[in-house]
Amino acid sequence: ERLLRLFGDRPGLHEIKGYLLITFADRYAPDDRAARSPEGLTLIREAASAHPDVPLLFFQHNPIYPPVDSSYPYNLTNAPEVMKSYAEHGVVLSVSGHLHGGSPLCFSDNVGYVTCPALCEDPFRFLRVRVRGHEVTVREESLKMPKTPPLVDTHVHTEYAYCASTVTAAGAIERAEKFGLAGITFTEHAGQLYVSSEDYWSGRFLNEPGLLRQARTEGRDRMRAYRAEMQALRSSFVRIGLEVECDRNGELSLLDEDREGWDLLSGAVHFLPEPFEGDAERGFMALTEKLLQQKVAVLAHPFRFFRRNKMDIPRHLFRPMAHLLAKYGAAGEINFHTNEPDPDFFRCCIEEGVPIALGSDSHALYEVGEFAPNLDVLRQAGAGERLEEVLFSS
């Protein structure tokens, strides 16, 4: 019940995309034994008869099958009765937890049973379960990354971001260490460290670059506070940097005296300032080249600009963009934050010898170093066994 509360959920029926998911919060007796109540057993019957032909998926805390050989009572005490009911009603899959080691998908009377390993313990495993009609496949993944090749999260925000939700620098470092990364780089939005949230989100700071100097003169900017705080965390594991943008003059959103001393400048296009408006594709490419001319080492979330603005991704620019990155010696970033990176672009990058950076763009703690999908993109892009070779290192 606590878990359901945490996820804003409730026990019972959930109809999702033509499937019926039924969650149980089975009662525990004081001796840690849990059983499915008579009402719970009735619910199975009722749900099945009210939803004929709908695949049924059941979720509960305790394992049901196979029996766990232990003096501790893992299985529901009336598991055989529950199994009989699941089988009678053609249940497709039963998902449990509780047993931290987990147990793989197995079948009894055509019902699939799987027990998820514990997400809360190293190596932080979880299951990706795919159900198509009555066909079930299960893939185990873990949040802990392999030691080789060494993976660095080169795009992490902090409590300084207006757009941050749960991310904090300290929390992000802790996660990066636990998840086996080789390092983490903080890249706070430079624009946000100077101007108000209003002047940032309106893009005004790019059309009126004088706002940056004005904020500094009036002592309102947070750039120096950010630098001092990050400097104290800096180590061989923790690098510090900024996510910068280009203003209407093609200059970085960064005062001259703040340019030096960073481990990484990551360039991004979030807004097109006035001179670059009009033809979005042309403006985007021109602004990107301005960023690269300013020697940013990584191009953050290439092409996400179009997705955010609900435009089609200009796939015909994949190759020209890879050429541009190669010309300026910058890396392209695989970034899943509100984004769906296209492996074809990264295939172009690999072909053009452009290094590839992995950036979680964490605004929430759960995003830090979650790189299984990023590595998938690299594989689809044809990086094969050459991961270490194609990855960006600062």
Binding site for Zn ion (CB under 5 A): 163, 243, 268, 300, 361
Strand partners, 15: 20
Residue closest to Zn ion, measured at CB:
163
Helix intervals (H) in the chain = 2-6, 38-50, 79-88, 169-178, 190-194, 197-201, 204-207, 210-217, 223-231, 280-293, 304-308, 318-328, 343-351, 372-380, 387-390
Nearer Cβ to Zn ion (75/360):
360
Q: What secondary structure, in 3-state letters, does 157-178 show?
A: CCCCCCCCCCCCHHHHHHHHHH
Nearer Cβ to Zn ion (57/169):
169
Nearer Cβ to Zn ion (162/237):
162
Q: How far is the CB of 269 from Zn ion (least distance, A)?
A: 8
Residue 359 near residue 183 (C-beta atoms within 8 A): no
Alpha-carbon distance values, 212 to 169, 177, 292 (Å): 24, 35, 21
Q: How far is the CB of 300 from Zn ion (least distance, A)?
A: 5
Q: What is the DSSP string of 40-86?
A: HHHHHHHHHHHSTTSPEEEE-SS--SSPP-SSS--S-TTHHHHHHHH
Q: How far is the CB of 287 from Zn ion (least distance, A)?
A: 13
Alpha-carbon distance values, 393 to 96, 332, 345 (Å): 41, 12, 20
Q: How far is the CB of 176 from Zn ion (least distance, A)?
A: 16
Tokens at residue 211, please?
A: 């706002």
Nearer Cβ to Zn ion (45/308):
308
Q: Which 3 state secondary structure label does DSSP give 227?
A: helix
Q: How far is the CB of 378 from Zn ion (least distance, A)?
A: 20
Nearer Cβ to Zn ion (85/154):
154
Nearer Cβ to Zn ion (268/334):
268
For the beta carbon of residue 359, count every other beta carbon within 10 angstroms. Answer: 26
Q: Which of 201, 280, 187 is nearest to 242 (CA)?
A: 187
Distance CA 35, CA 73 (A): 11
Distance CA 218, CA 190 (A): 17
For the beta carbon of residue 382, count every other beta carbon within 10 angstroms. Answer: 13
Nearer Cβ to Zn ion (83/268):
268
Q: How far is the CB of 359 from Zn ion (least distance, A)?
A: 7
Distance CA 272, CA 311 (A): 14
Q: What secondary structure, in 3-state letters, does 255-268 show?
A: CHHHCCCCCEEEEC
Q: How far is the CB of 335 from Zn ion (least distance, A)?
A: 8
Q: How far is the CB of 365 from Zn ion (least distance, A)?
A: 14
Nearer Cβ to Zn ion (240/300):
300
Nearer Cβ to Zn ion (75/192):
192
Tokens at residue 280, please?
A: 């979005």
Q: How far is the CB of 307 from Zn ion (least distance, A)?
A: 12
